[in-house]
Structure 1
Amino acid sequence: MNLQNLGWQPFFQQQLTLDDYEDAVVARISAHHRSGYQLITEKGEVSLPMHDSLPSMTVGDWVLLDHEQQFQRRLERSSVFSRKAAGSKVAEQYIAANIDTVFIVMSLNDDFNLSRIERYLALTNEAQVEAVIVLTKTDLCDDAEALKQQVQSLDPMLMIEAVNALEFDSAQSLTAWCKTGKTVAFLGSSGVGKSTLVNTLLQTEAQKTGSIREDDSKGRHTTTGRTIHQMPSGGVLLDTPGMRELQLANVAQGISETFSDVEEIASQCRFFDCSHQNEPGCAIQKALQSGELDDRRLNNYLKLQREQARNSASLAELRSHDKQLGKMYRSHQSEARNRKNKS
C-alpha cells in the first residue's frame, strides 16, 4: 500500500511541513460511522473515535495522525460535496471530499429525469469537479441513443457514457477516469444501478444489490454508507448511498455554470431586474416562443435558484446562531474560571 494508491496528489503533498515528514502519519478517511471514522494508512487501517475536538470531516478527507494514532490536523481539501440535510432539519451534511471525477448515474427506465441530472450537475460544478453522466440499464431500453441525446442537449460539452452495468466490457469505458492517483465518486438516486456498476468495476461483490419496484421503477436503498474502495485500474472509488432527496445549498455558482445558456439569454433582457414574465423586451420569453429554450429547463433553473437561496439563508442563520452560542459558552467558562481562581 502506498499513498498514491489511496489517491494522494501533489496538492496534498505541498501542505506538509518538514516536521510532518518526520512526526506525522498520513491517513485517508475511508468510512464514517456514528462512533467515529475508519482511516487507511500505508501500514493498514486505523480507527479514530468521534470526539468534540475533531473538525467536521467526511469520507475522502486526508488527515495527519501522530505515531500514537492521535489526530493532529485535517489537510485542506481539493474539493468537497455537501447538501442540506434531508427533511426539515436545518443542517449541512457532507457527502464526500477530495474527488477528481463524479459519475452522475441515471438509469434509462422510468426513473430517467433531466431535471435531476441538472441538480447533480449544479452540485458538481460548484465543487469544480469533472462530471461524467453515466446512463445505466441500456439492456432494458429500446431508445437509449435518443435519451442520451436529450442529456447531451443540456450541454454539448457534457461527457456521457451509456453502459450495461452487468457487463464488464461495457463498463470498461469508465476506467479511463479511474487511473492511479485519481478518486472517483458515484452519485445518483436509489435503484439506478450504482452498486451493480461498482461491483462490476471492482470485479467483486463489494456492495449489495437490489431490485427496483415494478410499479414505479423506483429503486431501493442497498448501499447504506459512504465507503472507499481500491480499483484494479489503480484508482480510488467512493460509493455513496442513493439519494431520495438532494437539497441544494451554497451552490449559486454551480447553478450559474449548469444553466449558463439560460443566464446568457437572460443577460439580453431589456431590464436588468426582469422577472421574465410579462416585461417588454424579455429575451427569455422570446427564447421560449422560438423554441431556443424549453419550459422545463427554465422552470428547473428558477426552482433550483429559489431552493439554494432559501437553504443557504437557513444554514447561514444556523452558523451565526452556533457562533453566538459558542461565544456565550466560552464567556461563561471564563467567568467560572475567574471566580474559581479568586476563591
Structure 2
Amino acid sequence: MSQSTSRCGHQQPCTLEDLGWTEEHDAAFSKYTGPYLPGRVACRQKTVWDVLISGGSVTAGISGTLRKLGRFPAVGDFVVLLDQPEAGASTIVDILPQKTRFARGTPGHEGADQVIAANIDTVFIVTAAGRDLNARRIERFLAITHASGARPVIVINKSDLADDPATLADEIASVSPGIPVIPISAVSGEGVDRLDPYLSAGTTIALIGSSGVGKSTLINRLMGSPVQDTSHTRDYDDKGRHTTTVRQLFVLAGGALMIDNPGLREVGIGTASAGIAGTFPDILELAENCRFSDCRHEEEPGCAVRAAVAAGTLSAARLESFQRLVQELAFEQDKAEIGLVRLEKKRWKPIGKLQRDIGKTKGR
C-alpha cells in the first residue's frame, strides 16, 4: 500500500481500533480477500478522499461503480480500499454499513438529504453567547441530530463574554428538555473539561453550528495545538466567515475522534420524522390529549396544545417552530416521493396525518 501525506493536514498514525473499528466492521469486511484494506475517511478534497488506515493514511479516488450509483463516501465512513501498488493508486470500492448517518436537507429543491458525516456517537451543537444564542436555530439543529441517531449536546461557547454566564443554559433549557447544555470558553479554556465525559477513546463527535461560534477554536483547544484556522467575528452582527472549508476528522490526544464542519448557513431538516419527535417530546405528549388525532393545533376545538399555550405552560414561539418544521418536513417528504416533479405539482401531506406518523416514532 503506497501511503501519502494527507492533504487535510497531518494526522498521528493510528490503529483501526483507535479509529473506532468494531467487530461489526470486521464482519462486514470479511467478504473481501486479496488486495483490499479497510480505512476511515478523514476528509474529502474535491474528487479525492483522504483515508486513515492502520499506521498511516492514503489519498484515494472512488470506483466507477460507486460514482454511477451516486454513493459518495462521507467523512467518518468506514470504507474498503483496493490497493494497486503497481499503479501507485488506491481506490475506494465500497462503503461499510453506517451506524449513524448525520445529514441535513439540501438547500433548494433537490429533494434529497446531504450527508454531513457518518458513524457519529455524539453531536456537539455549538452556539455562542450573544446574537447567535437563538432557540429556534437550536431546535433545527436538534431535529437533524435526533434524526441521525447520535446523541446531542449543546455547547454554548464564548460564555465569558456574557453579562451573566450562569443564566446562559437557562435561556435554552425550554427548547432542549433532557439535553445537556454546557457553557464554555474555548479561548480561555473555562468549562472545557466539562466535555470530557463525551470524549472517551474510540468515540466520534461531530461539531455543528453557525459560522463564527468558535468551532475551530474549540478543536484547537482540544487538540492542544492550532490545527484549524480561526477568524474574528464582526462586531456589528457577531457573524464570522467560513474559516473551515472542508469537513475533517481529527484524532484527539485522549483517543476521541472529532469531526469539524464548515458553518451551516442554511439548516434543512431533511426527511426524517424521528428528528421532530426527539426535539418536541413535550408537544407530542400534549397532543395525545387533543380531541382529534389529526389536530393541527390551530383552531380545532379541544386542542390540548393550544390550551397549554393559553395557560402559559408552553410558549407560543415553540409551538410555531414545531408547526413550521412539521410543515417543512411534509414538503421534504413530498419532494422525495414525487421524484422532483415540478414544484407546481406539490402535494402537501395533511399536517395532522404527518404528526401521527411522527408520534409513532416517539420512544423508539
Q: Give identity over the alignment, percent.
A: 35
Q: Does structure 2 retain, via aligned residues, the 8 Å contact 1:82–1:94?
A: yes
Go from structure 1 to structure 2 and tell me whether the alpha carbon gap of 1:316 and 1:226 turns closer, same or farther (over 3 Å shift).
farther
Name the count of aligned residue pairs. Answer: 320
Alignment of 1:133-144 (within 5 A): 133-144=154-165
Q: Deviations over 1:274-323 (max 9, x none)?
A: 222222211111101111110111011111111122123223433899xx
Pair 1:245 & 2:261 matched: no
Q: Does structure 2 retain, via aligned residues, the 8 Å contact 1:92–1:315?
A: no
Deviation, structure 1 residue 11: 3.3
Pair 1:83 & 2:104 matched: yes
Q: Does structure 1 retain, via aligned residues, the 8 Å contact 2:63–2:93?
A: no
Deviation, structure 1 residue 227: 0.4
Deviation, structure 1 residue 127: 1.3
Q: Equivalent residue for 2:278?
A: 257
Q: Equivalent residue for 2:52?
A: 40
Q: Does structure 1 retain, via aligned residues, the 8 Å contact 2:109–2:340?
A: no
Pair 1:60 & 2:67 matched: no
**CA–CA distance in structure 1, aligned partners of residues 325 and 236 of structure 2:** 28
Q: Deviations over 1:168-200 (max 9, x none)?
A: 353122132122111111011111111111110
Q: Equivalent residue for 1:8?
A: 21
Amino acid at match of 1:218: K
**CA–CA distance in structure 1, aligned partners of residues 293 and 304 of structure 2:** 11
Higher helix fraction (1 or 2): 1
Pair 1:164 & 2:185 matched: yes
Q: Deviations over 1:121-141 (max 9, x none)?
A: 111111111111100001100
**CA–CA distance in structure 2, aligned partners of residues 16 and 35 of structure 1:** 24
Q: Does structure 2 retain, via aligned residues, the 8 Å contact 1:122–1:257?
A: yes
Of 140, 159, 167, the match for 1:146: 167
Q: Equivalent residue for 1:315?
A: 336
Q: Does structure 2 retain, via aligned residues, the 8 Å contact 1:11–1:78?
A: no
**CA–CA distance in structure 2, aligned partners of residues 92 and 254 of structure 1:** 13
Go from structure 1 to structure 2 and tell me whether the alpha carbon gap of 1:166 and 1:289 turns closer, same or farther (over 3 Å shift).
same
**CA–CA distance in structure 2, aligned partners of residues 153 and 67 of structure 1:** 52
Q: Equivalent residue for 1:31?
A: 43
Amino acid at match of 2:79: V
Q: Equivalent residue for 1:304?
A: 325
Range moving further from structure 2, 81-90 or 267-276: 81-90
Q: Does structure 2 retain, via aligned residues, the 8 Å contact 1:249–1:309?
A: no
Q: Give the structure with higher Rg (CA).
A: 1
Alignment root-mean-square deviation, CA: 2.0
Q: Secondary structure at the match of 1:4?
A: coil
Amino acid at match of 1:6: L
Range moving further from structure 2, 191-200 or 170-179: 170-179
Q: Equivalent residue for 1:201?
A: 222
Go from structure 1 to structure 2 and tell me whether the alpha carbon gap of 1:15 and 1:263 turns closer, same or farther (over 3 Å shift).
same
**CA–CA distance in structure 1, aligned partners of residues 23 and 109 of structure 2:** 40
Deviation, structure 1 residue 22: 6.4
Pair 1:119 & 2:140 matched: yes
Gaps of 5+ in 1: 322-343
Range moving further from structure 2, 311-320 or 33-42: 311-320
Deviation, structure 1 residue 21: 6.9
Gaps of 5+ in 2: 1-13, 85-89, 343-364
